[in-house]
């Protein structure tokens, strides 16, 4: 626990915060002293997240919420306020990614498309709106961090729906920053590149057996390695701190230089 970000006493809600990048963010914010509510889609994943993230020094709870449902977005924010007395930080991390978000354009049916857009973009809008209302009422500085992707800037194979939602997250961030600045609420977009997901948040995974698409990413990342969830979590912790108090409406790349050429 570094304490460098100065988040003691702050209240954070992390959607999709029980595994991968979300778990690393949840753990890091809690380690920095924040009270953290983790949102997860199913009771099984929520129970696993509670066990994985539990630590004596962490003030952290887990709630079940399927963010494709509008009522669940409202209920999750309300649960955070009920549990910890307010909300200062929202991290919109929940998303359908990987193979589940990959489908050729000509094969995209409406039901599948509605799910991708609903979870990846609409839920972030709804959670941001509900959280912002609470932040304004609370009257203290607030931060909304939208976890996007380099896909906001570059098309990916068979991922037109996914790249559309991630570009939308960038637009959402800029709109939030503009509208909420008078209330001292900042909004920032974080765009990870190729991240090697490890179920143990904060623990580097052993060198994986890379698929050909993964090898392509690695060959084209100037720093010569895949990222880890902690790389993203460290950036989020900084952006949520007072040290980043003049940063809003920005998109921060955590991609090892992948988009630099």
Question: What is the greatest pairwise CA distance in the chain?
Answer: 50
The residue behind tokens 């509510």 is 37
- Give Cβ neighbours of residue 206 (< 8 Å, ≥ 6 apart): none
**Alpha helix segments (H runs only) across the chain:** 20-31, 43-53, 70-84, 110-117, 123-138, 160-180, 212-219, 229-240
C-beta neighbour count of 70 within 10 angstroms: 13
Residue pair 204/228 in contact (Cβ under 8 Å)? The answer is yes
Q: Is 238 a catalytic residue?
A: no
Distance CA 17, CA 52 (A): 11
**Which of 129, 148, 142 shows the shortest CA–CA distance to 12?**
142
Distance CA 30, CA 12 (A): 9
Residue pair 58/27 in contact (Cβ under 8 Å)? The answer is yes
The residue behind tokens 């050729």 is 104
Q: Which is catalytic among the residues 153, 162, 238, 261?
A: 162
C-beta neighbour count of 147 within 10 angstroms: 25
Helix 123-138 with 160-180: angle, nearest 10 deg: 20
Distance CA 148, CA 229 (A): 14
CA angle 223, 155, 228 (to 5 degrees): 35
Q: Which residues are catalytic?
A: 162
């Amino acid at each position: 626990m570094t304490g460098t970000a100065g988040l003691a006493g702050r209240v954070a809600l992390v959607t999709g915060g029980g595994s991968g990048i979300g778990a690393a963010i949840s753990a890091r914010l809690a380690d920095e002293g924040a009270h953290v509510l983790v949102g997860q889609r199913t009771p099984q994943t929520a129970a696993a997240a509670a066990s994985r993230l539990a630590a004596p020094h962490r003030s952290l709870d887990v709630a079940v919420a399927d963010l494709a449902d509008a009522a669940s977005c409202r209920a999750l924010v309300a649960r955070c306020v009920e549990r910890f007395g307010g909300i200062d930080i929202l991290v919109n991390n929940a998303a359908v990614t990987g193979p589940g978000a990959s489908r050729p354009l000509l094969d995209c049916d409406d039901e599948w498309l509605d799910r991708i857009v609903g979870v990846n973009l609409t839920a972030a809008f709804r959670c941001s709106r509900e959280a912002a209302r609470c932040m304004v009422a609370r009257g203290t500085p607030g931060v909304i961090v939208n976890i996007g992707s380099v896909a906001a800037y570059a098309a990916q194979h068979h991922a037109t729906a996914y790249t559309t939602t991630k570009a939308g997250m960038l637009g959402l961030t800029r709109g939030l920053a503009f509208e909420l600045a008078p209330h001292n609420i900042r909004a920032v977009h974080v765009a990870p590149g190729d991240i090697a997901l490890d179920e143990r948040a904060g623990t580097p995974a052993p060198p994986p057996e890379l698929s050909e698409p993964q090898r392509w990413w690695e060959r084209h990342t100037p720093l010569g390695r895949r990222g880890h969830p902690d790389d993203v979590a460290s950036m989020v912790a900084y952006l949520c701190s007072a040290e980043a108090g003049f940063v809003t409406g920005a998109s921060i790349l955590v991609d090892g230089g992948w988009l630099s050429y």
